[in-house]
Amino acid sequence: EAHYNLGNILVQTGEIKEAVGHYRETLRLKPNFVLAQKNLERALLLAGKMEKFKNRPIKNLSD
């Protein structure tokens, strides 16, 4: 469960891509670990959202 716990910490600190790797390793070791699967899905969703907004220009609030 060390990889699972590390994945959780990495998500909390915003290191989503690293967390995905740890969740995948957790599932390699324990394929039926449902919470790891759910957290992997959530991390992948977050990673997709981060990529979507990564290249978006920042609007000036005075516009």
| Tally of structural domains, the chain | 1
Give the CATH number of the domain where residue 12 resides: 1.25.40.10
What is the pLDDT averaged over residues 17-44? 96
- The pLDDT assigned to 48 comes to 85
Whether the pLDDT of residue 24 is over 70: the answer is yes
Kindly state whether residue 29 falls inside one of the protein's structural domains. yes
Kindly state whether residue 42 falls inside one of the protein's structural domains. yes
- Domain extent, residue 31, equals 2-53
Kindly state whether residue 33 falls inside one of the protein's structural domains. yes
Mean pLDDT (the chain) is: 87
Cα–Cα distance measured from residue 23 to residue 31, given in angstroms and rounded to the nearest whole number: 11
Kindly state whether residue 61 falls inside one of the protein's structural domains. no
Provide the token pair at 54.
Answer: 């990564």
Per this entry, what is the length of the chain? 63
Helices (DSSP H) in 1-63: which residue ranges? 2-12, 16-29, 34-54
- The pLDDT assigned to 31 comes to 95
Kindly state whether residue 62 falls inside one of the protein's structural domains. no
